[in-house]
Amino acid sequence: MHVRTLADAATSVSADALVVPVFTGGTLDGAAAEIDAVLGGTLAGVLRDGEISGKTGELSLVHAAGQPFNRVLLVGLGERGKFVPSALNKYAGAAVRYLGKRNAKTIAMALPNEAAVDIARSASFVAEGALAGIVDTTTYRTEPDKPVVTETLLVLESGLDAAAVAAGTARGTIVGEAVNFARLMALTPANDMTPTHLAARAQELAAEAGLDYAMLDEAAMEAKGMGSLLGVSRGSDEPATLSVMTYTGDPSSKELLALVGKGLTFDSGGISIKPAENMHEMKYDMSGGAGVIAALWAIGKLKPKCNVIGVIPSSENLPGPRAMKPGDVLRAMNGKTIEVLNTDAEGRLILADAICYAKELGATRIIDCATLTGACVVALGHAASGTMSNDEHFVTRFLEVVGDVGERYWRLPLYDDYSTQIKSEIADLKNTGGRAGGAETAAAFLKAFVGDTPWIHLDIAGTAYLDGESAHQAKGPTGTPVRAFVAFVEDVAKRGAPAPTNGAAKVEASV
């Protein structure tokens, strides 16, 4: 879908459909009021009759005979006083999904007056949401059911700062495409998305965005001592890969942010095999890796002034004849030994070596993301991603920046108690601390490989994919955490990296 801006008045735009926002309370203003005037009060009548109240995600379609726009779609934005720019993500996505499935090839979209507070961000969210709205899960159907056919989205400037609207739309197009890249990678079944295929996709997107790319194969991992990552891959005939995408936006800086993403292209649980029900969803276990790959592509396109690497360890976890067994001891790249109590706690094993490698490459800060624990889903449901860190300044800055990006993140503690839970009697660590505090003990395991490097762990198990369809997005992969990664990197480019926190104040570990 092509997204562009248009200076025409809403009343004169030529399109298959025109989209206007409404808030709760029944008052029409801006483009909605202008359109209502030329339609003789039709939109006000829709509100008066209670066909739409303005609640978030509500839709009401009006035909506009004799107008250059054939139809008008009213989309609810909720309470006016609670408006935030990211609400336009869902606004645009809902409109595109509704109209695109009803043969609207060209859609014009008006912005609410409230968007003027931050017009560039508002326009960015419109473009991003519209693009996210076109993806469906029917990628392998020979005859897709009601595909979104929209080809062009016209974002109306409506007297707003035209340059800001254009800049926001351009950024949102890149972010929206990146989100879709991540979602489509996750949708791909494991027979077509092996570790080798995931690495090839990373290489392809790196080339498109002008990034450097390198990959470690199993021989190179063996030479590096990555026994933790290789332990997971032993049960599969598919070789593991470790991809590195490098963006150098500020050669004069020594700061290097590493984004590390879990790339388990299929997770059966290994010898500690998962229940058969819903095991097919474990193709999504590479969502963290897909998010890093897509975010690096967007960063390469947006060109912020900072340095970023993406590190993507990838493997399958299968119960083959050489598979790791409960009770096995693995040795990670940093020399730490790990007792494997549960082979289904494998994501942290591949991340451990990837984090060590990111440090070897010079990372001064690390953010990892992974569909890591069911415990995080129990704690936070599908509403937010768990966020844990060893550095107060780093995590506070991150949560501030991503507070309105269309993804939610919630801080969880990382007390020393959790590190105690993962101490092994036979090795340095064990790969699970039991059911209690499962999300936090998984993070404590990763912390053991971070050392003093400022680090954030994102557990996206509950947010990387959703079981149900919404008005603005198809069921399945969400593209989390692409939006957060891009926003944080842009913020670092503008304001510089957060200063590291010293000593005991790093986190609430001593509480």
Which active-site residues does the annotation give?
274, 348
User: Comparing C-alpha atoms, which of 338, 349, 365 is closest to residue 450?
Assistant: 365
Buried b (16+ CB within 10 A) or exposed e, 5-18: bbeeebeebebbbb
Q: How many CB atoms lie within 10 A of CB 241?
A: 28
* Integer Cα distance of 493 and 302 in angstroms: 11
* Integer Cα distance of 266 and 260 in angstroms: 18
- Strand 17-22 relative to strand 106-109: parallel, antiparallel, unpaired? parallel
* Integer Cα distance of 155 and 168 in angstroms: 10
Listed in sequence order, the residues at least 6 apart from 419 whose beta carbon sits closer than 8 Å to its beta carbon are 444, 447, 448
| Contact by Cβ (8 Å): 151, 195 | no
CA angle, residues 259, 217, 238, in degrees to nearest 5: 100
Q: Report the interhelical angle of 287-302 vs 482-495 (nearest 10°).
A: 40
